[in-house]
Amino acid sequence: MQVGPADGAGASARFLFFSDDLSAESATLDAAETNHAVSVLRLKPGDSLRLTDGCGRRAAGTYETVVDRRMRVRIAERTCTGRKGPAVTLCVGLPDRDAFERILLDATALGVYRIVPLTAEYCQNKWWSKWEKLVPRFRRKMIVALKQSHSCWLPELDVPRLTPEALSSAAAGAVIVADPAGDPVGAITPLDPTAPLSCFVGPPGGFSERELRFFEQRTSAKVRIASARLRTELAATVLCAQLIGVNETY
């Protein structure tokens, strides 16, 4: 159902809630979302809420009831939103876990399409050996960023990959590598906003000489994003922000 923008009322108008499924006449909020709505925002039955499913859909609905710590919301309106700007895949060498979680937050808010963690040669603490157990936590982090930024698109999160594997599987399109010796981002001609764009950022210590040779074998552009050497998490955010800003269409 295609309708106008979803408008909430009262305190809930400033917040966006997440639900996995907005296709039916009613939606369900999980226990954490329900607790925030009821215990923190003090919403009452009959209050309006705005929701997203992270797949481009927004909805406006009404708080009906809570059963087993889950809120049921009656959907009144839906809007399907297309994605804007370049289809950015961020391939980033894994720093420590806290730094990687900051990357997830920023990349989600910026509208990155896909995040590919790289087990590059200079990655150190192999905390990602328990990746599958950490995925639910990472997803919650991205949902938080999605809601805070009032976006309606959740990035895809890949399993960790070796740098050559990620490069060989990158979609046809431009490949951008963060490199202190590269050209300024502004020197890149605005790209087709509908074409995929793969951005590579090294781990702490950068890419190894062997990894850099893989980039030379595939046409890629090296870009300088700052006058100083940046931490991996900051470099990833700055590069994505600059590329999305240069090439985004409104």
Could you report the per-residue pLDDT of 120-158, keeping only the tens digit for each?
A: 999 988 999 999 999 999 999 999 999 999 999 999 999
Q: Are residues 124 and 215 in the same domain?
A: yes
Q: How does pLDDT run across 70-83, given as a tens digit for each residue? A: 999 999 999 988 88
Interatomic CA distance for residues 36 and 31, integer angstroms: 9
Rounded mean pLDDT of the chain? 88
User: What SS3 state is found at 23?
Assistant: coil
Q: Are residues 177 and 205 in the same domain?
A: yes
Token pair for 141: 């982090």
Q: How does pLDDT run across 182-225, given as a tens digit for each residue? A: 888 777 766 666 778 899 999 999 999 999 989 888 777 889 98
Which pLDDT score is estimated for 11? Answer: 54
Give the residue among 244, 235, 241 at the shortest CA–CA distance from 190. 244
Single-letter amino acid, residue 100: F
Q: Which domain holds residue 161?
A: 87-247
How many separate domains does the chain show?
2
Token pair for 188: 């890149």
Residues 240, 242, 246, 250: is their CA dihedral positive or negative? Answer: positive
- Specify which residues 174 forms β-bridges with: 197
Which pLDDT score is estimated for 190? Answer: 61
Report the percent of the chain where pLDDT is more than 70.
90
- CATH code of the domain containing 190: 3.40.1280.10
Decide: residue 246, CB within 10 A, 0-12 exposed, 13-18 middle, 19+ buried: middle
Q: Are residues 237 and 163 in the same domain?
A: yes
Its pTM surpasses 0.95: no
Q: Are residues 148 and 237 in the same domain?
A: yes
Q: How does pLDDT run across 99-126, given as a tens digit for each residue? A: 999 999 999 999 999 999 999 999 988 9
Token pair for 161: 């990959």
